[in-house]
Amino acid sequence: MTNHFPVGRELFDDVMVPNYAPSAVIPVRGEGSRVWDQQDREYIDFAGGIAVNCLGHCHPALVSALKDQADKIWHLSNVMTNEPALRLAKKIVDNTFADKVYFANSGAESNEAALKLARRWALEVHGSDKTQIIAFNQGFHGRTFFTVTVGGQEAYSDGFGPKPGDIDHVDYNDLAALKAIMSDKTCAVMIEPLQGEGGLISPTQDFIQGVRDLCDEHKALLIFDEVQTGVGRTGDLYAYMGLNVVPDILTTAKALGGGFPIGAMITTTEIAKHLKLGSHGSTYGGNPLACAVAEAAFDTVNTPEVLNGVTEKAQRYIDGLNAINTKYNVFTEIRGKGLLIGAVLNENYQGKAKDFLVAAMAEGLMTLIAGANIIRFAPSLVIPNADIDEGLARFEKAVAKLAK
């Protein structure tokens, strides 16, 4: 098969819906934490496909799992189950608080399942008044209409007509505000155990424990959205483990598939039983190809070497970024947890995060932003130290160009 037309960035504006504004660079292959574009220019990847490529690009274990499964069976529908889905579910259950797994294809779908389950649980266990869902300002839970409304950014949820109802928001880390708004009519509290898109905000220990206690007091379900923090990102298999607070429902996606689309909603047997036969579903959820790749990713990440490595590599980033800051004075703080790192721009560079991203790209480094004032890094959990050092050197060149 040959293409008789150029496949460049201009084509995007011709044939794609304009909801994204991708960069001019079109990567065509990757290996580990290096990526090459159409002109064979090489980049170091500190973005990791937005916290998805937890084992970098084309990790041999994932490639082999995908190729093996590709020769066996691709899809069956949920009229039948399949071996990769069963194996992955068993491993998730054996390594978390959960007893039951529901597979989806993305973070938003996993959260949609969690919210629908919570509403159904409340209706069946406590009656029709218990419908309030509380979430947090600046939170992000996906782009389906229910999840985007639960997310705490009106810029994303406005403009689509009437929204799903009985959803309230309070500030993250404001326990008094949560307490004031909660009652026995609260069905669930949905929270990221570290706000990702909202700016790499960690919960205080008092806050996250307080959220758990308030949910217990009012018999509300605590839903942890670990779509971004899950599968090793923070140095624990799941972030809840590092916080010593156990949710009732947890969602996981992004790194779960290491680059193959998959998500999951996990919970206890008691709660799961309310998602009874026919109450919810997905054509692709639990797809054998996705589950085979995710099983390989889960096995590879869930080892002391990789998880401890996250904490060590995070320190290497923090030291490197602090050294850059000592020279150029651009950040107020470096925050986040594990390999989910935010460099917060100081008052001289307000609104300029995108400029840093663009300047880094020109030096051969892929980064992310979280809002207008934070440069975000979410690299592979197994990025070689040499690539961290080289990437930080490229980042320093970008910073030097922008520093006043």
Binding site for ligand PLP (CB under 6 A): 106-108, 111, 140-142, 192, 196-197, 225, 227-228, 253-254
Closest approach of Cβ 390 to ligand PLP, in Å?
27
Tokens in use for 345? 């721009």
Closest approach of Cβ 107 to ligand PLP, in Å?
2
Residues near 90 by Cβ (< 8 Å), separated by ≥ 6?
none
d(CA 241, CA 157): 31
d(CA 113, CA 147): 10
Placement of tokens 């496909």 in the chain: 49
Closest approach of Cβ 227 to ligand PLP, in Å?
4
Catalytic residue check, 319: no
Catalytic residue from among 146, 224, 225, 356? 225
Which is closer to ligand PLP, CB of 324 or CB of 368? 368
Which is closer to ligand PLP, CB of 56 or CB of 107? 107
Q: Give the HSE-up count for residue 37: Cα atoms under 13 Å, Cβ half-sphere.
A: 18
Closest approach of Cβ 298 to ligand PLP, in Å?
17
Catalytic residue check, 337: no
The residue nearest ligand PLP at its CB is: 107
Closest approach of Cβ 126 to ligand PLP, in Å?
26
Which is closer to ligand PLP, CB of 104 or CB of 324? 104
Catalytic residue check, 254: yes
Which is closer to ligand PLP, CB of 136 or CB of 140? 140
Beta bridge partners of 345: 331
d(CA 147, CA 140): 8
Which is closer to ligand PLP, CB of 151 or CB of 364? 151
Catalytic residue from among 46, 136, 140, 331? 140
Closest approach of Cβ 300 to ligand PLP, in Å?
21
Catalytic residue from among 254, 260, 313, 331? 254
Tokens in use for 252? 């996981």
Which is closer to ligand PLP, CB of 254 or CB of 274? 254
Positions annotated as catalytic residues are 140, 225, 254
